């Protein structure tokens, strides 16, 4: 049971990692925690669902279109709402994202109803591979794992080695200086929101087939993703992914050996502990803001 608990923990951890990545991207550039992250992803999943079922598109086309939708959704929300805030404080912006979350949730409930739907997916969650010793992982788990690692690597390279990526980093470290250096801060922020939304949507596409599709789909994954990001360090991409895996494994081991009843609150205990002892997270470099 021990090794299966770890394998299952890694599998669910991969979904937390994806959500953590999505949150970290926005946090890295603007220090805003995006509470609408989960529901933006949920909306994109519904768009994919609609394209697949009522439009009858193939998986590749439907998912590609839905990811494009996710990008525009993220960019649009930044452009239409966050940018309009007058003299914004970080707290004010966070409250805006909370508002957006409620609007999107309401919109999805109104458009598709609240009842659970089956989300079609090309890769099966029941076809399993034996990893040795009877420990299994499903095809879907492996795909999720691969997607999480690939996205992490791509984003890491993007932030470190591309001009736009570096501009994003600069924006986070000092917005005014970045502006003076000729970086179009607004455009950079819009782009971050777009990318983050795409990563979130990818997470939703991979979570929905293991669950049922309904407007509450991403509520728990978002909280877990947030916990994972805090655990790993809010500013570190590899940290977020590592935090996701760690959280998944901790949860499963706790559920398996200590108490199933309190399994779902372990994530929050983890947040409290990390904030007490290592506020910057396990994997992030301690970062002191210069005055």
Partner 1 sequence: MRKGLIAGLCLALVLAWAGGVMAAEVRGVTPTTIKIGQWGPQTGPAALWGSVARGTGVYFQMLNEEGGINGRKIEYFLRDDGYQPGRTKAVAKELIENVGIFGFASGVGTSPGMAVMEDIVKNNLVWVGPATGSTHWAFPPKKTVFAVYPNYPDEAAILTNYILFTLKKEKIAFIYQNDDYGKGGLDGALNEMKAHGKKLVLEIPVEVTDTDLASHVLKLKEAGAEAVIMWVLPKHAAILVGTAAKLGYKPQWVASSTLSDAPLMYNLTKGLWNGVIFGNFAELPDSNDPLMAKYKAAFDKYADKKSDHWGVFFYAGFGFVEPMVEGMKRAGKDLNPETFVKAMETLKDFKGIMGKVTFAPGQRQGMREVFLAKCETADITGPDGKTVKGGKAVRLSDWISVK
- Binding-site ranges for partner 1 (CB under 8 A): 1, 4-5, 8-9, 11-12, 109, 113-118, 125-126, 128, 134, 136, 138, 207, 210-212, 214-216, 219-221, 248, 251-252, 254-256, 260-261, 263-264
Q: How far is the CB of 127 from partner 1 (least distance, A)?
A: 9
33-to-39, 234, 257 alpha-carbon distances in Å = 14, 10, 33
Distance (Å, whole) CA 191 – CA 30: 12
Q: Is residue 137 within 8 Å of residue 6, measured between CB atoms?
A: no
Task: Give the residue with the Cβ less far from partner 1, 79 or 219.
Answer: 219
DSSP 8-state class, residue 286: P
Q: How far is the CB of 3 from partner 1 (least distance, A)?
A: 11
Q: How far is the CB of 256 from partner 1 (least distance, A)?
A: 4
Q: How far is the CB of 20 from partner 1 (least distance, A)?
A: 15
Tell me which H or E stretch contains 1: none
66 burial via Cβ count (<10 Å: 0-12, 13-18, 19+): buried
Furthest CA-CA distance within the chain: 59
Q: How far is the CB of 276 from partner 1 (least distance, A)?
A: 24
Task: Give the residue with the Cβ less far from partner 1, 194 or 255.
Answer: 255
Task: Give the residue with the Cβ less far from partner 1, 168 or 204.
Answer: 204
Task: Give the residue with the Cβ less far from partner 1, 134 or 182.
Answer: 134
Q: How far is CA 60 from the centre of its chain?
A: 21
Q: Which two tokens stand for residue 68?
A: 């494009």
Nearest to residue 237, comparing CAs of 284, 279, 203? 284
Tell me which H or E stretch contains 258: none
Task: Give the residue with the Cβ less far from partner 1, 111 or 285.
Answer: 111
Task: Give the residue with the Cβ less far from partner 1, 82 or 249.
Answer: 249
Q: How far is the CB of 205 from partner 1 (least distance, A)?
A: 15
């Amino acid at each position: 049971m021990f090794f299966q608990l770890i394998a299952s923990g890694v599998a669910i951890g991969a979904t937390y990692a994806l959500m953590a990545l999505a949150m970290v991207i926005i946090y890295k550039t603007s220090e805003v925690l995006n509470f609408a992250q989960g529901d933006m992803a949920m909306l994109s999943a519904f768009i994919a669902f609609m394209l697949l079922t009522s439009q009858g598109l193939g998986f590749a086309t439907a998912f590609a279109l839905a990811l494009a939708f996710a990008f525009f959704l993220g960019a649009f929300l930044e452009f239409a709402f966050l940018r309009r805030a007058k003299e914004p404080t970080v707290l004010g912006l966070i409250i805006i994202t909370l508002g957006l979350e409620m609007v999107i949730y309401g919109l999805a409930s109104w458009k598709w109803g609240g009842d659970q739907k089956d989300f079609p997916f090309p890769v099966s969650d029941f076809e399993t591979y034996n990893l040795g010793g009877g420990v299994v992982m499903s095809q879907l788990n492996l795909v999720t794992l691969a997607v999480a690692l690939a996205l992490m690597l791509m984003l890491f390279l993007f932030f470190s080695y591309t001009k736009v990526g570096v501009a994003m980093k600069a924006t986070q470290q000092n917005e005014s200086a970045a502006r003076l250096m000729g970086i179009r801060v607004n455009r950079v922020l819009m782009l971050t929101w777009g990318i983050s939304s795409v990563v979130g949507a990818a997470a939703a596409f991979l979570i929905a087939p293991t669950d049922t599709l309904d407007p509450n789909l991403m509520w728990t994954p978002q909280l877990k993703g947030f916990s994972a990001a805090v655990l790993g360090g809010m500013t570190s991409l590899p940290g977020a992914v590592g935090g996701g895996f760690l959280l998944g494994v901790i949860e499963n081991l706790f559920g398996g050996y200590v108490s199933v009843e309190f399994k779902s609150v372990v994530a929050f205990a983890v947040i409290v502990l990390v904030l007490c002892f290592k506020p910057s997270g396990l994997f992030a470099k301690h970062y002191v803001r210069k005055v």
